[in-house]
Amino acid sequence: MIIAIDGPAASGKGTLGKRLAEHYGFAHLDTGLLYRAVARALMDRDIPLTDRDAAAHAAQNLDVSHLEDDTRLRGAAMGEAASVVSAYQPVRDALLAFQRQFAARKPGAVLDGRDIGTVVCPDADVKLFITASPEERARRRHLELQRRGEQAAYETILEDIRRRDERDMSRSTAPLKAAADALTLDTTDLDADAAFDAALKMVESSRS
């Protein structure tokens, strides 16, 4: 069974993906970490994010063994950088096979990202599109960064989120959008538990 979860930055899709995977005993992949790792590989070598060939090479040779444990991939700056390299078709092509292999894991897998239901797993058993207002997503990201001890102004985060939304939704390669058969969940007014309960009901309704 494959559960595909898409949505914009800080919508809560990653948290929901983890909780749903734990609930069902499935493997979980935050595909955004793949693109963050590609961006980090370039930045570590002082290569501009605009170097498409270098980004493709980094994607083709990416070490995915410790993505979840790499705290450097979680910051706002890396998220912004990932949004840049994720627009390159060769980068997406290089990572596509790995994502689909992961999705084939038994007894099931949960993948969250921006093109899971539309490109990576168009035949997924369940497709969810998680969203929230830009203001609420900025508030969540602000709190998250504060908990990590990182300093960032709310207004700056909100501006970054709106810029990422525009880039992700307008890119020619796998733009962010809900699959035609996806169920949409707006988490703006939901806490983590309420969002999980709502998502779980959607999954169960899709399975029945």
The three-state (H, E, C) secondary structure of 21-67, written as one string: HHHHCCEEEECHHHHHHHHHHHHHCCCCCCCHHHHHHHHHCCCCCCC
Q: Of all helices (H) and strands (E), which one includes residue 204?
A: helix 192-207
Structure tokens at 29: 């992949």
Widest pairwise Cα distance in the chain: 51
DSSP letter for 119, please.
I
Please state whether the peptide bond connecting residue 107 to the residue before it is cis, i.e. omega within 30 degrees of 0: yes
Residue 34 · residue 95 · CB < 8 Å: yes
Nearest to 150 by CA among 80, 67, 72: 72
Going by the annotation, the residues of the binding site for ATP are 7-15
Going by the annotation, the residues of the binding site are 7-15
DSSP letter for 183, please.
E
Q: Which residues pair with 113 in a beta bridge?
A: 6
